[in-house]
């Protein structure tokens, strides 16, 4: 296909849903050389931006234009449920369809979700040779490293900041910008306080009748000058500190040396046979379970958790083992039941304690009264992590835990795992997360 040389441009676009402003005055230009990564907290408007660029929705204000009008745009949506396929199979099929479209501009919403390492390699190899523009919403830091610029949608302030370079450059520039802002704010507060104190002293002296004649006139002059300086002082806004998901995953008890064991385990599921598998998980172990999509990684995890029966072989838990799962799918909070009611039933906590714990995971008073099905995937993931914290698990089973978390939450989960003393089993295709996990052993299917 002949590649058009053109531009997809958003000019001061705004979008609201009900009374909530999602995007306000955002401008973005996508040229053939653009490799733009879009980051920000869940719910900030990243997917909305892609829908507006794709023409799926219209902005309330501003405009989205294609020059020339024949510029072709392909859009990969985030939600990919499809004809009974697994998440990995659906992701691969949709990715291949997008690549086959050979469009001038690719709009990709979480393109790395559910892809195995072979799929990731295919995606990145294609993007390296693609001669058109790319805009990708992603929380995959290894993928974002390949971008030429990062657009950050800030929470609370709703500001849009653009940084040149990939993830590492973005992280460094953002930290430097925060340090400059902190320094400027500290200087502003110091000078403001000095001038206000000077004006306060002048008022006190005047009220006490300090001095007569020229001295009194001088006092008034100094007071007036201090007020002018204070009025001319350029205001620096207090730096905004983003909310952080601060996790505590302290095991309630240590348990035995051998936490869990699969010996010559065979699982048969829907005509599919896996095994025999030998797996021994000891206290403090970090086991990474690897393999292509469809190899049976989640099936092995279900067998370890006791959720699938063994056709043959043995499963055994050590004394005192408390297993906890962060599932790949919707988990326990996807039905009609209110989040709070389901959480109380799962955790055994009183309602008041459950509310307080969920609040620390940014699930507030209104959120906990919503049906689980109405929660976003990220909100359900945070509720599932809160449940792990409540149960004091000493053996964690993590199945693609980063899929529905934003970057701040992923980094906080990494920190929590670094301080976690229990055993952990991980299935993940997030390369940075795998590195941070620090596997002590691997099992490849």
Q: How far is CA 205 from CA 202, 221, 223, 272, in A?
A: 5, 13, 10, 89
Please, are residues 153 and 130 in contact by the beta-carbon 8 Å criterion?
no
- Answer whether 406's CB lies under 8 Å from 376's CB: no
pTM above 0.85, yes or no: no
Residue 206, C-beta contacts closer than 8 angstroms, at least 6 positions apart: 216, 219, 220, 223
Residue 128 · residue 99 · CB < 8 Å? no
Q: Do residue 152 and residue 265 come from a single domain?
A: no
Same domain (yes/no): 151, 266: no
Number of structural domains, the chain?
A: 2
Considering the domain boundaries, does residue 215 fall inside one?
A: no
Q: What is the pLDDT of residues 74-131, one digit of tens each?
A: 998 876 575 666 667 777 787 788 778 788 999 999 888 888 898 899 889 888 888 8
Residues paired with residue 20 on neighbouring β-strands, in sequence order: 17
Q: Which residue has the higher pLDDT, 199 or 287?
A: 287
Q: Model confidence over 341-368: pLDDT tens digits?
A: 999 999 899 999 999 989 888 888 888 9
Strands 423-427 and 395-399: parallel
| 298: in domain | yes
**Interval 273-311: pLDDT, tens:** 988 999 999 988 999 999 888 888 988 999 999 999 999
User: Could you tell me if 137 and 50 are in contact, meaning their C-beta atoms sit under 8 angstroms apart?
Assistant: yes
- The whole domain housing 151 covers 7-156
β-pairing, 286-290 vs 133-137, is unpaired
Residues 401 and 268 grouped into a single domain: yes
pLDDT on residue 1: 47
Q: Which CATH number do you get for residue 112?
A: 3.40.50.300
- Tell which of 131, 156, 181 closes a domain: 156
Identify whether 169 is part of a domain: no
DSSP 37-61: EEE--TTSSHHHHHHHHHTSS--SE
Final residue before a domain boundary, out of 129, 156, 183: 156
Residue 147 contacts residue 108 (beta carbons within 8 Å): no
List all residues 6 or more positions away from 24 whose beta carbon is below 8 Å from its beta carbon.
Answer: 14, 158
* DSSP code string of 129-181: H--SEEEEE---HHHHTT-SEEEEE-TTT--EEEEESSHHHHHHHHHHHHHHH
């Amino acid at each position: 296909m002949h590649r058009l040389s053109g531009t997809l441009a958003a000019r001061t676009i705004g979008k609201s849903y009900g009374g909530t402003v999602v995007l306000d005055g955002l401008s973005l230009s996508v040229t053939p050389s653009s490799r733009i990564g879009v980051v920000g907290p869940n719910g900030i408007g990243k997917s909305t931006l892609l829908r507006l660029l794709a023409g799926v929705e219209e902005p309330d204000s501003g405009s989205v234009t294609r020059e020339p009008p024949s510029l072709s745009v392909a859009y990969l949506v985030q939600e990919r449920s499809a004809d009974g396929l697994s998440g990995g199979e659906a992701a691969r099929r949709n990715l291949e369809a997008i690549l086959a479209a050979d469009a001038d501009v690719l709009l990709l919403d979480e393109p790395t979700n559910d892809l195995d390492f072979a799929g990731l390699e295919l995606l990145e190899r294609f993007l390296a040779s693609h001669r058109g523009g790319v805009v990708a919403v992603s929380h995959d830091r290894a993928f974002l490293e390949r971008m030429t610029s990062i657009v950050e949608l800030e929470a609370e302030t709703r500001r849009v900041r653009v940084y040149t370079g990939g993830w590492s450059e973005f992280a460094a520039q953002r930290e430097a910008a925060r340090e400059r802002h902190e320094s400027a704010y500290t200087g502003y507060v110091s000078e403001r306080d000095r001038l206000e104190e000077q004006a306060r002293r002048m008022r006190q002296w005047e009220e006490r009748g300090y001095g007569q004649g020229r001295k009194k006139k001088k006092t008034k002059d100094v007071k007036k000058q201090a007020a002018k300086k204070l009025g001319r002082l350029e205001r620096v806004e207090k730096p905004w500190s983003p909310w952080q998901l601060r996790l505590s995953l302290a095991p309630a008890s240590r348990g035995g040396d051998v936490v869990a064991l699969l010996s010559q385990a065979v699982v048969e599921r829907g005509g599919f046979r896996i095994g025999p598998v030998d797996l021994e998980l000891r206290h403090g172990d970090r086991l990474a379970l690897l393999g292509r999509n469809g190899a049976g990684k989640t099936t092995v995890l279900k067998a370890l958790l006791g959720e699938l029966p063994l056709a043959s072989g043995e499963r055994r838990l050590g004394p005192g083992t408390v297993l906890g799962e962060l599932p790949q799918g919707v988990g326990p909070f996807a039905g009609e039941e209110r989040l709070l009611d389901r959480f109380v039933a799962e955790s055994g906590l009183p309602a008041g304690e459950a509310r307080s714990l969920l609040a620390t995971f940014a699930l507030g008073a209104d959120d906990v009264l919503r049906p689980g099905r109405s929660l976003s995937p990220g909100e359900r993931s945070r509720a599932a992590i809160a449940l792990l914290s409540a149960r004091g698990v000493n053996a964690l089973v993590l199945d693609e835990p980063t899929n529905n978390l934003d970057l701040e939450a992923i980094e906080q989960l990494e920190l929590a795992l670094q301080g976690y003393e229990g055993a952990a089993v991980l299935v993940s295709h997030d390369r940075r997360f795998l590195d941070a996990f620090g596997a002590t052993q691997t099992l490849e299917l």
